[in-house]
Structure 1
Amino acid sequence: MSAADRPVGGHVPVAGGPATGGLKYADQIGAEVVQIFVSNPRGWALPDGRPDEDEKLRAGGVPVFVHANYLINVGSPTPETLEKSLASIRHALRRGHAVGAGGVVIHTGSSVTQSRDDAIRQVHERLLPVLEEIPDDGPALLLEPMAGQQNMLCATVDQLGPYFDALEHHPKLGVCLDTCHAWAAGHDLTAEKGVHETLNLLLETVGPGRLKLVHANDSKDPCGSGRDRHENIGAGLIGESPFAALFHHPATEGVPFIIETPGRAPEPHRRDIETLKRLRDTPPGS
């Protein structure tokens, strides 16, 4: 298995610009792929990019993914939240296109106070046109299931089915699977065939080729807790073995792995990436 088959990297800071800050940090932690924010993840501001930084990032030789802000909720019954969510998604897709990103990750959202059916209908009516706007050379829109908190539209991977149906299985639609979220939602990745069964269910639900990114995060909390608290690889309750199984399942062929693990200095992230590379590069059963 070559590094190009399943590159390993991390979410990187962009102080000074996505290329100046992001690529420097990527080098420090040994990242083969990076994920960036293109706006404040906890705000609605939609900043312009810097063409010089965008060009450096495109030419940097490191694949890029964008994570849209955390406030986005296309299932919200509040008109202001819905409109700001759609504007943020469009902004992230434009900025992702500018930096040559392979995908833009959004959280799948919550129905809040309306029914799930109404929320899914709203996803169809308002998000499908956004997908239609993406140019052929633009990034895919990657749906990230959540940890299973109340009224979430997608937590377990089978719940992606109605979401994909609502978006008519658009060719620009993909999935970002977060291991901590899947674990928190009830997928026991530590069971004998837990990873195998989870990925097979994902394939059955959305079809082959839709998994475009893995957020590789261990968890501080038990399986099924509904709590999204990331831990460093091997230091949490998921442990190392499920990550090895993820690397060796056919569904992850060609899929990048991104860490979003604790730590503000390069060292813990460098260790996590080294651990994942070791698990990736060790043949099954060794």
Structure 2
Amino acid sequence: MTSPTSPIGGHVLISGGLATGGLKYGAEIGAETIQVFVTNPRGWALPAGKPDEDARMRAAAEELPVFVHANYLVNFGSPSEGTVENSVATVRHTLRRAAAIGARGVVVHTGSAVSQSYDDAMKQVRENLLPLLDEIPEDGPDLLLEPMAGQGRMLCATVQDLGPYLDALDRHPRAGVCLDTCHAFAAGHDLAAENGVRDTLDALVATVGEGRLKFVHANDSKDVCGAAKDRHENIGKGHIGERPFAELMRHPAMAGVPVCIETPGPAEKHREDIETLKRLRDGS
């Protein structure tokens, strides 16, 4: 029996409406899966959806896996009460909006302790994130934890860091993982080394368990391994290189897992990156 194929797509630019712009851009770049924002990625405003656009997205999501990325300000480990309160409101809103458009998952950054201790930050993660996981309805989207590049006092960067993070959430069944290849590389997982991808994904499965990897951000890196810098590059143009992405597609943990680019450039660059990943996936 062959493993299910991973759909490959990208984060889509929205102009003229969530569905109107997002689906159009997805088609333009040849996306088999898409990721969208439903709020300003750098603001706390929580806009309501438009029923007609939501209905179009739900219809598209029956064939095209849709994911939502929560805004970049979310940080449940922050010492700022205001930031934590806004993070709770934003993730709750984003989960509800994701359900309204038929999305499979909401990607959220795992956050930083900033100026407080790791233990205090993780206590906040548990107190504020666990109730949100409990609120997700049976047919709602999973919450996908995305480890960061290791900059500052990040709570989760290596795949092994996901262990205590998930433990703080009681290994909740609605807590999944989104792995970003640039972040993993920046955090010290040398994906460009021989067996680097295999070793990283093996460690991920050993840490979080089988089936918890739900989504992958496929991005090359402008910086060297371990640089702790989150700077994405086009596929095959950075320090990871093209070959590791072919190895990524062949790993058993990747069977059927959607893959999304978040690489620089206009539509033609995004289309090239998606075509490259499709070629590597298909072995051509």
Q: TM-score range by the shorter chain?
A: over 0.9
| Matched ranges for 1:72-87 at <5 A | 72-87=74-89
Alignment size in residue pairs: 282
Q: For residues 43 and 219 of structure 1, what CA distance do their matches in structure 2 show?
A: 26
* Match among 203, 206, 209 for residue 208 of structure 2: 206
TM-score by length of 1: 0.97
**SS state of the match for residue 19, structure 1?**
helix
In the alignment, which residue of structure 2 is the partner of 1:43? 43
Q: Report the alpha carbon displacement of residue 115 of structure 1 after superposing the two structures with TM.
A: 0.6
Cross-structure match for 1:14: 14
How far the C-alpha of 1:3 sits from its partner, in A, is 10
Q: 1:100 to 1:2 in 2, by over 3 A?
A: farther
Normalising by structure 2, what TM-score? 0.97
1:151 corresponds to which residue? 153
C-alpha distance in 1 between matches for 2:221 and 2:27: 26
Residue 256 of structure 2 corresponds to: 254
Q: Which residue of 2 aligns with 1:271?
A: 272
1:134-192 per-position Cα deviation (integer Å, ceiling 9, x unaligned): 00000000000000012100000100111100101111110000000000000000111
**Following TM superposition, by how much is the alpha carbon of 1:281 offset from its aligned partner in structure 2, in angstroms?**
0.1
Q: How does 1:118-197 map to 2 (within 5 A)?
A: 118-197=120-199
Whether contact under 8 Å (2:220, 2:236) holds in the other structure is yes
Structure 1 position 4, deviation (Å): 5.8
CA distance in 2, matches of 1:160, 1:117: 15
AA in 1 matched with 2:230: D
Displacement of 1:2 in angstroms is 8.3
Which residue pairs with 2:228 in the alignment? 226
State the partner residue of 2:24.
24
Letter in 1 for 2:48: D
Q: 1:8, 1:217 → 2: CA distance?
A: 12
- Percent identical: 67
SS in 2 for 1:59: helix
Can you list the C-alpha shifts for 1:42-95, whole angstroms capped at 9, x where unaligned? 000000001100110111232100000000000011100000011110011001
The residue type paired with residue 110 of structure 1 is: S
Which amino acid in the other structure matches residue 199 of structure 1?
L
Q: Let me know the Cα RMSD of the aligned residues.
A: 1.3
Residue identity opposite 1:140 in structure 2: D
8 Å contact from structure 2 (residues 65, 104) kept in 1? yes
Structure 1 residue 113: deviation in Å?
Answer: 1.1
Alignment-derived partner of residue 55 in structure 1: 55
Task: Name the SS for the 2:18 alignment partner.
Answer: coil
